[in-house]
Copies of this chain bind each other. A is one copy, B any other.
Amino acid sequence: MRVGELSKRSGVAVPTIKYYLREGLLPAGVLTSPNQAHYDDEHLRRLRLVRALVDVGGLSIASVREVLVAIDTRDDSLHNKLGAVQEAISQPGAAQLDPLAVADVQAFFARHGQTECIDVTESNVTHMLAAALSSARSVGHDQFRDLLDAYFEGLKIIARADLEYVVRHKSPDDVIEAMVVGTLIGDTVIKALRRLAHAQVSSEVFSDGPAQN
């Protein structure tokens, strides 16, 4: 197919596709003449993935590129890929951390982690966690760390479902893509469902009648 059809089938404007090609988010098509290239279903699939990462995951073009590089790197363990993807999709957050927040994170690791995490800045994920707790402290919510254990409890249930979902997929390519999709789209789904869970739990607890007003 040519770029026009790729555009029609994906719902992405032709100039945008050209832009993605330039930015290396999409591999070039096979040139059949100096100004004719041929794109296949892989391009369509990749294009849709890019849009999902941008629209739902809220990733920048640069982050998308990092994720795609991680996906495409062939000589790398699944573990490393997951790590690379996670780093790419977790933006650093605030620079200066409250040492008390760092201590909270370390205490959490002492309770749960089998890994010996001492430096929270070594990974974007732990840094993100520390930055969030640090922010909570700065607005006077230093008790927020009390929620960590309950959160982790709920998230282990979610993580088990995630894992089960990922291993369903046969080919390594599908597994890594399921991981990316599951992680990023999952984040958005979790955000939304948490709001719904808030509503449900609060009406359960207060039994304030089924939501008129």
Contact = CB atoms under 8 A, between A and B. Distances in A.
Contact of A45 (B77, B140, B201): B140
Contact of A194 (B56, B155, B177): B155
A197 interface: yes
A170 to B, nearest CB: 13
A140 B191 CA distance: 22
Contact of A148 (B94, B135, B193, B194): B193
B56 A196 contact: no
A93 interface: yes
B192 A126 contact: yes
A8 interface: no
Interface in A83-140: 86, 90, 93-94, 96, 112-115, 125-126, 128-129, 131-133, 135-136, 138-140
Interface stretch (A21-29, A67-75, A158-166): A158-166
B77 A155 contact: no
Contacts of A153: 157
Contacts of A211: 79, 114-115
A190 interface: yes
A179 B173 CA distance: 40
Contact of A139 (B52, B133, B162): B52
